[in-house]
Chains A and B, each alone.
Chain A
Amino acid sequence: METLFEVAARWLHVVGALVWVGHNYATAVTRARYAPLSAADLSDPDSPRQRALMQREHGTFRHASLLVLGSGLAILWQRGWLAEALSLQGSLAPLGLGIWLAVIMVCNLWFVLWPHQKRVLGFVAAPVDERLRCARITFLSARVNTMLSIPVLFFMAAGAHGIALFS
């Protein structure tokens, strides 16, 4: 039963990470350079930029981030490694560092990116100037997560397969 739990949690962890980080990377590739929105983009609901924004996925990847964090912590808890990893002890320190960076990413996504994105999309009423300001913050928040994902993936892999690097 424990093996089944770990396999399922690990599978959810990997699939969730692909959905979450994959969404972020897809945006980084399709929008390699920052292209600011204009007031016309936001004031006309039928403008191409507005329609593109509304058609983009906004929910699945956010919830995938919680699945990734939750399943990762559950695996460590089941093994009795959670406290050691979070306190950066011994051979679990690389993994623990990756976890803390991932926690920053999840907080950035839910507490910085999403509240501002809701204003950009018009889910929360705001004047056009405010929506344009929020669009810039949303972009920067996503790029910070792109940057942080690189060490997170490194330390996740190093935690599982690269102990020799840090011993």
Chain B
Amino acid sequence: MSDLLLRVFDSSVVTVALGVALTAALALLLRLLM
């Protein structure tokens, strides 16, 4: 299962998309908390 999940990193495009999604989630969280 975890091996299957880690396969998302096999693609550079998906890795970057995850980075952008993480950025948006953290920025939203920070804005809500500040």
Contact = CB atoms under 8 A, between A and B. Distances in A.
Interface string B1-34: 0000010011111011011101100110011011
A1 interface: no
B20 to A, nearest CB: 6
Interface stretch (A25-33, A56-64, A123-131): A25-33
Interface size class of A (residues with CB under 8 A): 20 to 34
B6 A28 contact: no
B15 A34 contact: no
Interface of B: 6, 9-13, 15-16, 18-20, 22-23, 26-27, 30-31, 33-34
The 10 A-B residue pairs with the shortest CB-CB distance in the complex, in nearest-first order: A150-B19, A34-B10, A143-B9, A151-B23, A147-B19, A32-B12, A28-B12, A154-B23, A147-B18, A143-B15
Given A33-B11, A93-B30, 11 more contacts: A28-B15, A29-B12, A31-B12, A97-B30, A139-B9, A143-B9, A147-B9, A147-B18, A151-B27, A158-B27, A166-B27
